[in-house]
Amino acid sequence: DAGVIQSPRHEVTEMGQEVTLRCKPISGHNSLFWYRQTMMRGLELLIYFNNNVPIDDSGMPEDRFSAKMPNASFSTLKIQPSEPRDSAVYFCASSHSGELFFGEGSRLTVL
Amino acid sequence: ILNVEQSPQSLHVQEGDSTNFTCSFPSSNFYALHWYRWETAKSPEALFVMTLNGDEKKKGRISATLNTKEGYSYLYIKGSQPEDSATYLCAFMKGFKTIFGAGTRLFVKA
């Protein structure tokens, strides 16, 4: 298995633009997590899904953030409109028995 | 609010030193406690998944203990090597939700 696949690896965009981050979990994993890594807060849980259903989105910072999981093999995290303070590394992780397997992250820079 | 605290924030040791870090977590409604190793420019990788009070797990020179009643876990590294330099994260699992501590950044000098 290729592991958790995230794209893009790097994105540089201007304030106000829409950003879409993508994640393909490991096949057979039924839980998917989106985390944001910042210097101030470390790994911050944004949202997680179980069997494609969002279970807890209380970590999503604002209405500008949204996440979807239309099927078991794909999830998106969207920021619209983006702001400079959204600059961070966004990690996707999947799990089937508790242990999380992380993607390599998407580094977002909003100018 | 689920609070996972790790200490120290960072640690500098010499090659060959043994060291340990602490993770404290809510003791009520415990489900599982994970330790992850996170090297710079890589993704976190799981070291241990611990579920039972009194659990002790070992992988090579690294071991961990768990006390769910008082809400803490220790990670030990025996005879630190430069390649052990990384951030060590603990994560508290409640149901599906996995909350990470801020990590302990370990620097091992040759």
Q: Do B46 and A33 touch (CB under 8 A)?
A: no
pLDDT at B78 over 90: yes
Residue B93 has pLDDT above 80, yes or no: yes
Quick: pLDDT tens for A19-60: 999 999 999 999 999 999 988 778 999 999 999 999 999 999
Cβ under 8 Å to A: B residues 91-110:
91, 93, 96-103
pLDDT band at B3 (very low <50, low <70, confident <90, very high): confident
In order, the DSSP letters of chain A are: ----EEE-SEEEE-TT--EEEEEEPPTT--EEEEEEEETTTEEEEEEEEETTEEEE-TT--STTEEEEEEETTEEEEEESS--GGG-EEEEEEEESSS--EE---EEEEE-
Q: Is the pLDDT of residue A70 over 80?
A: yes
Q: What percent of chain A lies above the pLDDT cut of 70? A: 99
Residue-wise pLDDT for B11-67, tens only, equals 999 999 999 999 999 888 788 999 999 998 899 999 999 999 999 999 999 999 999
Give residue A53's identity as a one-letter amino acid code: V
From B44, B49, B98, residue closest to A45, measured CB to CB: B98
pLDDT number for residue B2: 65
Q: How far apart are CA A102 and CA B6, in angstroms?
A: 21
Chain A residues with at least one Cβ partner in B under 8 Å: 31, 33, 35, 41-43, 45, 48, 50, 55-56, 91, 95, 98-105
Question: Would you state the structure tokens that stand for residue A18, as one six-digit string?
Answer: 């829409």
Cis peptide before B82 (omega within 30 of 0): no
- The residue-averaged pLDDT of A66-71 equals 96
Please report the pLDDT score of residue B41 as a whole number.
Answer: 86
Give yes or no for residue A1 having a pLDDT over 70: no
